[in-house]
Structure 1
Amino acid sequence: MTDLLYHYNSASTFSREKGLNKLVLAHQTEIESVNNIPCFFWGNLTDPYVTAKCWRTIAKVVRSSFGPIPPSLRDPIISAGSERIRFEGFSSCNGVYVRLDMKPEAIDGEFIANGTTNVDFNDPMLNALNSIQKNERVTLSVGQKDMQVITGKSKVTEKKVSLPPRWIKGLTSVQLYLADMDLKFELNKIQAIQLFQTFPKGNTKGEFFISRKAGKCMFSTLGGNDSVRIGGVHRLRLLEGILPIVDKIYVYESTDGQTCALVCELGKMQLLMAFSPDAYRGFSGEGKVLDTMTENLPMEWIYGINSLLKSNETFDPTLLSIEHDIDFGMMENLTSSLSSIGLLGYDVMERNHFYRQLPFKTERIVSMNPRLKNAKALIAKEHITIAKKTADTIEALVKGTDVTHKVVIDSNSARCTCQWFTEYQGKRGICKHVLAVKMMN
């Protein structure tokens, strides 16, 4: 699938006027309701030096690649609303997810509107961020109609960028992994420095563990009960730029022990970095989201929720059910569906979902999973025969190209005789045959 081309109405700008640095991030969106909003937020950064360090770390992530896909510039996504600003992005290979949560105390200004856009971090912008010093005053505006970017040394006009479908698919998957994570380690500043002092030397790319021994965390090639697996440990070097300014680092691990995330506490903001199971595996291809896509959700429900909630607003399904008289079972299906198309993010520190207004049409998101498309085709062609069905078990025969596959689904697991299941054993999501059988029952 080709990238989605976006055309900004303006370019991001960084300029200096009357002794003040002014930063304006250009935005783009397909959603008509916000097309005419020139600005989502306008105000000052209360800690511009730390903010600039975090933005440069985000830029480093989105310009990197650790798999077969070559690195290329991809623009971060920004959500403004509910007194918070969030920046999100993926590495080009989609195996590293990064998010900066700017708390209300990190910004001093006015939220003119709520929304989510993809923003433009161009080279002149990054050069300007590199020059920001402590105690400087920087004004941030999200959205601007100016057609140029002007600094003291350069002038840049508008540019075209592309938004990779892998990013959209990654957003639909990564929050499911985050919601499945538990806190393993909490490191103060000294402990965090000590941990990275044990970082493996050279061009090490294999499997390592963060292990705790005698109250001290270190990188090790040996795992254990008190350890967290890091697939592709070299990816953690992306954090080196902010290590000197972190207050704490929280290490999270998924229940299956395959994925992990590090949350860096920076006072007025938090930077999260999540890592796929291995460097060659991207979040967009893991398929975990397929387990929640077995029921079709009417588009009017999605648009209804979109009109009720603001970007970054906490998503409380119980409260929504009570306030809007929605059946709890239906709300559970709605929550799963919203997660599966990327409209819900997950905050591992607060242990709750937040709503995200994506800057592209919902129909585009729903159509982006090939396994879902293939499962629907199997149903439409009547290639599925239910051989046995009880209260706890379903056995089905699914016609393939040259062979008929057997699917067995019970209360604890789902199995299939196809090559996909044989190779991955469910670790990269369910296969199209299992998905089709689930969708029929």
Structure 2
Amino acid sequence: MATTDIAISYSGNSVLTQKSGIQQLVLSHQAELTEINNVPCFFWGNLTDPLTSAKCLMTLSKVVRSSFGPIPPSLRDPIVSAGTDQIRFEGFSSCNGVYARLDLLEDAIDGEFLASGTTNVDFNEPMLNALNAVKKTEKMILGVGSKEVSISTSKGKIVEKKVRLPERWIKGLTSVQLYLAGMEQRFNLNKVQVVQLFQSIPKGATKGTFYLSQRANRFVLTPVASQGAVRIGGIQRLRLLEGILPYIDNLTVYQELDGESSSFVADFKTMRMTLSLSPDSFRGFSGEGNVLENMVQDVPDEWVLGVNSLLNSNEMFDPTLLSIEHDVDFSTMDSLTASLSSVGLLGYDLHNSQHYYRRLPFKMERILALNPRLKNAKKLVATQGVEILKDTEGYIEARVAGSDVKHTVILQGEQSRCTCDWFTNHQGKRGLCKHILAVKMLSN
């Protein structure tokens, strides 16, 4: 299916300039949402550890400019969420198989939050070159937006810059959070163990899967699976973190419960860097389809507006507390949590094992339109392409129209299966097929 990129126009370039010995980093922003574009600046203040911050931002830029699949690498601008005394930068590799997030915590920043929100930001080459030259003794000011500092070229002109945001990028950002929420902590490595681990990564492009396991006080990589080992597909992707190795205090490793995706959270005391890897280099987060089941039931607009009025960007999302305070049934809140994550309003913090609120700088109806399987499932329901053969407690059997044949769908407890090629090839690991989705729509 052909994809339509989204044109984003910046009013100026992101710049890092030096004035009176102080580095001033100003990130130009733009979004589809008028209320975001009308905000001149989200944050303005000092970075307490400019060198480590600059190295982490450079690592994030390496991720968004990399590709480990058939899609050629190209610069993709990350998004930034400012609010609740912290700033989060997020981005994807061009192949969508690597997700990175930099969390600047309260002690990493010393300034004023003028507004709370999430926006797309411009990471251009001159700004990245300037970041690469930042020294430990320098003072650096971060501005998310333009505020009162003019954003211009060296000639003083405001430059209109256009970039293209791919639909895969948006789909990946909404689905990766569900993977993070399904991960559990497996290992914690100190500074020495981190260095030893990266020294053991095979050189060059390595095919196949590796497994990370602990032997005594050392962590080793091996192509042979063992009990308790963490599966890492596309091991060379871990090298994206090499630029920040000297600054890492400890590294926590997480694994998805089914042993597919993995995440690595580097801690720097005042900030954290998360690198999440899809199961393999050729599999992007956007194509996994785990988000679809949570979108079977539409989220009422009043729920979304209610959450939007209650929470600020980066505020922790506590469904239990919200249920009690606003007299919402716990099961309803569980459904809302999954649905909000599915449309990109919730991210997930592995360190705190909790969702946080943020709003993507895109119109929400766009995200729903990016899921062809969901649209096709709705079409099957609308055209009466689903025939329920048996519906008893905990068991549903249905016949669903396919391209040339009719497929049999069985829902039994939490399990579902279909006779179509999609299910046969992926066995549910890449999301539900349109036939199962259609039956679930009718049974809800």
TM-superposed CA distance for 1:203, in Å, is: 2.6
Q: How big is the alpha-carbon RMSD for the aligned residues of Structure 1 and Structure 2?
A: 1.6
Residue in 2 aligned with 1:344?
Answer: 346
Residue in 1 aligned with 2:304?
Answer: 302
CA distance in 1, matches of 2:34, 2:317: 23
Match of 2:261 among 247, 259, 262: 259
Amino acid at match of 2:411: I
Amino acid at match of 2:73: P
Identify the range of structure 1 (405-414 vs 51-60) with the bigger mean alpha-carbon deviation. 405-414
CA distance in 2, matches of 1:287, 1:269: 31
Residue in 1 aligned with 2:441?
Answer: 439
Please list every run of 5 or more consecutive structure 1 residues that lacks an aligned counterpart in the other structure: none
Residue in 1 aligned with 2:412?
Answer: 410
TM-superposed CA distance for 1:9, in Å, is: 2.0
Amino acid at match of 1:246: I
User: Among the aligned pairs, what percent are the same residue?
Assistant: 59
SS at 1:332 equivalent: helix
Find out whether 1:8 has 2:10 as its counterpart.
yes
How many pairs does the alignment contain? Answer: 440
Q: Check whether the contact 1:265–1:271 (CA below 8 A) recurs between aligned residues.
A: yes
CA distance in 2, matches of 1:233, 1:89: 19
Find out whether 1:244 has 2:246 as its counterpart.
yes
TM-superposed CA distance for 1:159, in Å, is: 0.9
Match of 2:333 among 323, 331, 335: 331
Q: TM-score, normalised by structure 2?
A: 0.96
Residue in 2 aligned with 1:209?
Answer: 211
SS at 1:319 equivalent: helix
Q: Check whether the contact 2:30–2:36 (CA below 8 A) recurs between aligned residues.
A: no
- Identify if the C-alpha distance between structure 1 residues 3 and 147 changes in structure 2 by more than 3 Å, giving closer, same or farther: farther
- Identify if the C-alpha distance between structure 1 residues 350 and 324 changes in structure 2 by more than 3 Å, giving closer, same or farther: same
TM-superposed CA distance for 1:31, in Å, is: 2.0
Match of 1:76 among 68, 75, 78: 78
Find out whether 1:170 has 2:172 as its counterpart.
yes
Amino acid at match of 2:178: L
CA distance in 2, matches of 1:59, 1:154: 26
- What CA deviation, in whole Å up to 9, does each residue of 1:279-310 have, x standing for no partner? 00000000111121121112232122112211
- What CA deviation, in whole Å up to 9, does each residue of 1:76-116 have, x standing for no partner? 11000000100000000000000001110000000000000
TM-superposed CA distance for 1:148, in Å, is: 4.1
Identify the range of structure 1 (156-165 vs 67-76) with the bigger mean alpha-carbon deviation. 156-165
CA distance in 1, matches of 2:418, 2:18: 62
TM-superposed CA distance for 1:149, in Å, is: 4.2
Q: Check whether the contact 1:11–1:147 (CA below 8 A) recurs between aligned residues.
A: no
- What CA deviation, in whole Å up to 9, does each residue of 1:327-367 have, x standing for no partner? 32222221111011111101111010000111111111222
Please list every run of 5 or more consecutive structure 2 residues that lacks an aligned counterpart in the other structure: none
TM-superposed CA distance for 1:225, in Å, is: 0.9
CA distance in 2, matches of 1:155, 1:62: 28
Find out whether 1:144 has 2:146 as its counterpart.
yes
Q: Check whether the contact 2:188–2:250 (CA below 8 A) recurs between aligned residues.
A: yes
Residue in 2 aligned with 1:50?
Answer: 52
Amino acid at match of 1:144: S
Alignment of 1:37-436 (within 5 A): 37-144=39-146, 148-150=151-153, 157-436=159-438
- What CA deviation, in whole Å up to 9, does each residue of 1:203-243 have, x standing for no partner? 31321111212231011111111211111111111111111
Amino acid at match of 2:60: I
SS at 1:241 equivalent: helix
Q: Check whether the contact 1:182–1:255 (CA below 8 A) recurs between aligned residues.
A: yes
